[in-house]
Amino acid sequence: MAKKKLKSKKSAPESTKTKRPSTKAKTTKTKTKSAKPHTRAAHAVAKHAAIPAALQYIPWSTVEIETLNPLLGRQMVVGQQIMLARVLLKKGCIVPLHSHHNEQLTYILEGALKFWIDGKEIVVNAGEVLAIPSNMPHKAEAMEDTVDLDVFTPPRADWINRDDKYLRGQK
């Protein structure tokens, strides 16, 4: 009788143990997939995403304005899977043609941006939003002094790493 109870006890934990490694294997596999790209930018996003999420309250006045060129500045707040950038453009500022795998929402707070995108010219004014799909080439020009909020998912690793030469006038 005691042997039967031992067998029952042993068989239940073994089946549980069998299930646990397969779950861990799936978790490891998922981590491997997200860390697969071996670029410096992808590593920065992966490293940032590894930090546990925490509630953040961040006044814009506490976020450094990074000057990219005389007509362009930005501030960034980066979350686990999303990024918000406050972009400050002087009239005439050109954001050169580029594309990225990140989805982008551009919300104009003040001013206006003219976009060249998908074979069209679109002027986005204060209070308006432009949704830009992944990998869609686009260019913009500030029609007047402009403040815009750009939302990216996933976060822009090239911006986090300051490896965005197209905005800095470098090739």
Question: Model confidence over 48-106: pLDDT tens digits?
Answer: 666 778 899 999 999 999 999 999 999 999 999 999 999 999 999 999 999 999 999 99
Supply the pLDDT for residue 86.
98
Residues 6+ apart with CB under 8 A from 100: 134, 135, 152, 156, 158
Summary mean pLDDT of the chain:
81
Mean pLDDT within 37-54: 62
Supply the pLDDT for residue 41.
56
CA atoms 115, 121, 126, 127: torsion sign: negative
